[in-house]
Amino acid sequence: MPAAKKHPELKDFVRTKNDSMRALLQTVEKVLDHDVNVFILGESGVGKDYFAEAIHSCGKRREKPLVRIDCAAIPADLFEAEIFGFEKGTFTDAVARKAGKLEMAHGGTVYFDAVTSLTANLQAKLLRAIQDKSFTRLGGHEAISFDARIVSSSSTAVESLRNDLLYRINVVTLTIPPLRERREDIPQLARMFVARRKHGIDDAAMQMLMEHRWPGNIRELRNAIDRAVLLEETDVITPNALPSFTSDPVESAAEQQWTLEQLEARYIREVLRQTRNNYSRAAEILGINRKTLLEKRRKYGIE
Ligand SMILES: Nc1ncnc2c1ncn2[C@@H]1O[C@H](COP(=O)(O)OP(=O)(O)OP(=O)(O)O)[C@@H](O)[C@H]1O
Ligand SMILES: [Mg+2]
């Protein structure tokens, strides 16, 4: 592959301060001007659709259509008609000829979302179309050329895909890291989501956003901000407007690689806050005596 051309518009599309994301964008930059099929992996809500759109709209086929095929939502018995199209009279409801999605994507990009949900039979048919670079409408004879970049995505393991299909659609793999592994991107994403409607996010609220585990990734962050914008009466988002994030605190501490002392200090501080500095009660909850609690409080500089 020749050296990658610079695509500054890509960096506007996906803004990041994270090293793995930067490496990912470098890979994307290399494929934009070439007909390389791309496979996008990542948890739900990390931005797989968003990346598919970035690849299409920054790439050489940007003037042509981007057609999304949701492989998990289309029933298996309708799938062929949906992607290959059909001729009039092929089945009872076929009152007129209809172009399929592969035909609509001609010259552009076809995005197979949740591609791992395709049945073995459909995988075989899709593979044939990719290998032959052509297909026919159901009930038709005319060979229609299949000319589109293929982008596919999955949030689960790819074992359910046959190898020869995987080999075709997975020339380059992009694995998008979960949001909790790129926390440095949370502030700018959050600010981007509030930008149009609100002026800011206060420090305490930002701290909450930084610490949450985000199992739903960027989608969850976006929803949390949308909701906060509605609930917050002033022009700054405060913790009150955020959902009460309940996740396993130990899991989240481990992900952030806290030391035992950090964890202990945080826990003591929180128990003191909840007992309104009732030291006897806090010591009882913590299972230590009052003297030990006071020592730890001093050690950790808890007010
Ligand atoms: N880098 C980004 N910058 C701004 N918004 C983003 C970014 N990535 C994702 N989003 C937004 O986050 C939401 C979820 O993204 P998207 O739908 O692409 O996730 P997904 O990985 O396809 O999720 P699923 O597995 O559930 O289909 C969307 O509203 C999208 O616009
Ligand atoms: Mg998606």
Substitution candidate for ligand 1 out of 218, 222, 226 with most atoms within 8 A of CB: 218
Q: Compute φ and ψ for 177, nearest 5 degrees.
A: -70, 150
The Å distance, Cα 141 to ligand 1 centre, comes to 39
Q: Tell how far the Cα of 90 is from the centroid of ligand 1, in angstroms.
A: 38
Query: Picking from 2-6, 7-11, 19-23, 274-278, which range would have the lowest pLDDT averaged per residue?
Result: 2-6
Q: Which domains does the chain have, with CATH numbers?
A: 8-177 (3.40.50.300), 180-248 (1.10.8.60), 258-303 (1.10.10.60)
Q: Report H helices in 85-197.
A: 101-104, 120-132, 163-169, 186-195
Which residues, in sequence order, are bridge partners of residue 135? 144
| Mean pLDDT, the chain, whole residue set | 91
- Chain segment 150-188, per-residue pLDDT in tens: 999 998 888 889 999 999 999 999 999 999 999 999 999
Minimum-distance ligand 1 atom for the alpha carbon of 153: 22
Question: Can you read off the two tokens belonging to residue 47?
Answer: 């931005």
Q: For a pLDDT cut of 90, what percent of the chain falls above it?
A: 70
What is the Cα–Cα distance from 270 to 23, expressed in whole angstroms?
39
pLDDT-derived band at 255 (thresholds 50, 70, 90) equals low
Nearest CA to ligand 1 atom 28: 219
For Cα atoms 155, 161, 167, give the angle at the middle one, nearest 5 degrees.
100
- 94: CA distance to ligand 1 center in Å? 36
